[in-house]
Structure formats: structure tokens, C-alpha cells
A and B are shown apart, each in its own frame.
Chain A
Amino acid sequence: MRRIFIALPIFLLIYIVQEAVVNQFRLPGGGFSIFLIFTVVWAILSPPEIAAFIGFIAGLMMDLSASSNGPIGQWTLLMIATCYSVAYFGAGNASVMENPLGFTLFVGSALFFTELAYVLTGALLGVASGGFGQVILTTIGISIWNLVITPIVLPIFTHLHSLIFDSRSAI
């Protein structure tokens, strides 16, 4: 619990950066979410139960964003699943934890599947996400952005994590 309360102000800060700065730009290909990247990176570096709780908080914050299209709870559900999964599969995996390229690809794939899951659950919940082609283009665009942005912010996020918890080395 202590870990989560310490991390909460950082999550709030990144959330404000996402809403007030990143969302100012309409980027080609759909753009990226620094908040999503941060949450997934933080989750990979945390134990699965903490990661699930982090996913719950982050997902709820994303749901409460005015620009969120789906019902409140959709991002919460997806982020619990994503954060728990990445923490579960990432922990102890040398190709992820000791290799920045592997880590980036792992984050990129996690976000790609999260976006796909968002579209699928959105379709079940009656959220309009656009035509098939447009969804594919946007998902690919977002994934490319994530793969570009993740290596840039990864040292900062992992360093921040190790600085606070002093538990794992920065990647």
C-alpha cells in the first residue's frame, strides 16, 4: 500500500501532463499516451498484485478523462488486466528486464494488445470506434508512436522507480 501512495502523486503529475500538454497536439496516426506508457512501465517494475492496483487507479483516471469515449470502468478493467499481465510475464524475464530493446518491445506489444482489447470491449459495450480500416490504421499508428516514445522516456521512468523504491536497477 505504501508503494501505491508514494506513486500516486507521480501518476497525478503524468496524468496532468497527458491532459494538459500531450493532448494539445493532434498527432498524425493517433499519437501516444504518455500516461499509458508510464503506467505499463511502472507495472512491469512492480509485483503483480501492486501492478493490478496501479492498473485500477490509472484506468479509473483514464475513464474520468473527458476525452474518454467509453463507459466509466472500461479502461479500469483493461488496465487491471494489462498491468497484472505485464507484471506477471515481465518479472524475472531476462530478455525483458535486462534488455532495453526487449523492454521497449514488451511495452509496445502490451499497449498494442490493450488498444485492440479496448476496441473489442468497446464493440461489446456499444462504443463507436470507426470502421475496420480506420481502427487498424489508428492502432498501428499508436503502436509506432509508442515504440518511438517508450525508449525516450524509459530511462526517466525506470530511474524514477528505482529512485523511489530502490528495489531494481534502472534500465
Chain B
Amino acid sequence: MRTSGGGRSRLLLITLIVTALFLITLDLRGVGVLNGARAGVQTILSPFQRAGAFVFSPVKSFFSDITHLGRTHNQIESLRLDNAKLTSQLLNRKNADAELTQLKNILNLAGTAGFKVLNARVISQGSSQSFAQSITIDAGTNAGIKKNMTVLSEFGLAGVVKDVYFNTALITLATDPSFKIGVRVAGSQQIGILSGRGNTSAGLELIDNLTNVKIGDVLLSRGSVANRPFVPGVPVGYVTAVDNSAGAIAQSATVHLYTSFSTLGVVAVVLASPGVNPGDALVPTKPQPTPLPTITVFVTPSPSPTK
């Protein structure tokens, strides 16, 4: 431990702390210069992020896939032989195919609702050190993106545009603890508020305490005034658990979000909406069970017993 402090060192420390407090005050008061600085840094960083996304996209999902190893063990075993043959081709094509699939599904989703969307590639996953859940995309004001626009993934709602820079935009994901969206239950039309929790599930608070929500209920976005920040009818998630504790003011539930946030490669920003609420048209169809063929074997006894 150092024993000598020194007046000069103390003065420097106080100056630095006061400067930091001054910056916090300015930022909380919404001084534009500081936001401009953040936008400038993001503009400088975006080419590096693009390069990083290009180089690391084939192995991007590796670490998130590790957590699913137990569940996918059998699948991995059966695919190992196929993979050996296709590895070289797959490395180049895998990423492009995955993005293409995501893109197709996003366009299907947006096309059904008649949304005018702009597709963008995810160039950075954001840092968890700040306990925020965000991504950066490779399109910004140059492509017509504005603040508070809805962002879709292939499965439904991904998040909302938080900040826009010249050629990039920062998206707050639906898993972010600060994320809130008005939702309605498909079919029963009950309304509630969905909040991010920092993980793949979200919390739902129903507004009306006289109605009930059931496990499996699908939630859609309610939409906002002038469709910003949220367009209506976008699938958000489905109810996985209902909290029926006595004495609660309103019913609450746990919701599994449709979007797979760890594998986001391509997203779509809703630039315009037709103005007509698509209602329940975007509710994802439930997977149909494959019928199992029944094989009946007739055994005819032989006339003479075998020796």
C-alpha cells in the first residue's frame, strides 16, 4: 500500500472525479454534445465492427451453443458423419444460409402484415458489462432508420431502435431490463405490459384483474400511436407460467420470447406500417404432430411344430 499521497495527486483525483460527475450531470440533463460524442465514436467503430462481424460470423454462435450441448448431444452424434463430408462447403455456406432463412422468415412475417421493412445485419452483440441487452446493426440514418422503430426477427419482435447513427443503429433487445411493451393476448384480446428481465424470459402484468391468462397463450404487440415505437400485431412470445398468488392486484405471468436472441444474424426494422392492424394474422402456427404409421403384423401358426 502506498503511504505518500501528495497534494498534487489529491488535486488530480478530485479534478477527475468532479469532471466525471460533471459529465453525468450534463448527460442526465440531455446535453446534445455528449450524445454527439457517442455517435462519433460509434461511426468510427462501425467499420471495425463490420470487419469483426464478417470474420467471426461463422463461429459467432459457438459459445452460446455450448450451453445446449447436453440437449443436442444425440443430434450432434447423428450429424457428425454428414458433417465430415460437408465441413469445407458448410463453413462458407452455413452463415449465408442461416441469414437467408432468417431473412426469408422476416420477409414472410413483414409481408403478411404489410410492413415496409429494411433488413440489416447484426454487426455487434453489445457488451453485458453494463447489464444491457443490445445489438448494433449495419444501417442507420443513411437508410432511413429513425429512433423508436420496431425491430423484427424471423420469429417476431426483436426489440426497438434506441439510438441511430449515420450508418449504424443501436437496438435495445426485448430481453433488456429496461424494455417494456404493451401486449395483448391473441384471441381473448386481454391487454398487459411485458417487461424484459435480462434473460430469455419476460414478465407479463395484466392490466385488468378480472381476466385470466393461460399457459400457451400467444402475446402480440398492441401497437403505439403513429406505430412508434411499436407496430401492432407482431408476435412477442407465449405464456409459460402463470402466477396466481392470492392478493396480487393483477395477474402476472412468465413469457417465453419467440426470438432466439443468441443467434440473431439478420433483423428487419419496420420503416412504415399500412395503418391497418393485422389482428391475429401473425400468430405463429403451432407445429403439427407427425402421424406415426401403425404396422400390424399377422402371425400365422405353422401347421407342424418345428423340431
Interface window among B12-20, B89-97, B113-121: B12-20
Residue of A nearest to B163 (CB): A66
Does A104 reach chain B (CB closer than 8 Å)?
no
Residues of chain B from 38 to 61 with CB closer than 8 A to chain A in the complex = 38, 41-42, 45, 48-49, 51-53, 56-57, 60
Within 8 A of B (CB), among A49-99: 49, 52-53, 55-56, 59-77, 80-81, 84, 87-89, 91-93
* Contact count A vs B, C-beta below 8 Å: 193
Q: Which residues of A contact B27 (CB under 8 A)?
A: 71-73
Interface size of B in residues (CB-CB distance below 8 Å): 62
Q: Any chain A CB within 8 A of the CB of B248? A: no
Contact between B41 and A73 (Cβ–Cβ < 8 Å)? Answer: no
Q: Which residues of A contact B13 (CB under 8 A)?
A: 49, 52, 80, 84
Chain B residues within 8 Å of A128, by CB? 176-178
Label chain B's interface by main secondary structure: helix
- Among B62-70, B147-155, B227-235, B236-244, the one that faces the other chain is B62-70
Q: Are A25 and B63 in contact (CB under 8 A)?
A: yes
Report yes or no: B129 in contact with A24, Cβ–Cβ below 8 A. Answer: no
Min Cβ gap A145→B in Å is 10
Interface readout for B98-141 with A: 1 if CB under 8 Å, 0 if not? 00000000000000000000000000111111111010100000
Q: A135–B131 Cα gap in the complex (Å)?
A: 8
A92 to B12, CA, bound (A): 22
Of the candidates A36, A76, A131, the one whose C-beta lies within 8 Å of that of B129 is A36
Cβ B261 vs Cβ A26 within 8 A: yes
- For the complex formed, measure the closest distance between the CB of A54 and the CB atoms of chain B, giving whole angstroms: 10
**Cβ of B28: which chain A residues have Cβ within 8 Å of it?**
71, 125
Of all chain B residues, the one with the shortest Cβ separation from A72 is B27
A88/B1 contact (C-beta < 8 A), A20-B45, A72-B27 known: yes
Cβ of A129: which chain B residues have Cβ within 8 Å of it? 131, 177, 198
11 contacts between A and B (CB under 8 A): A20-B45, A22-B127, A23-B52, A27-B63, A52-B13, A66-B38, A66-B163, A67-B130, A72-B34, A76-B23, A130-B177
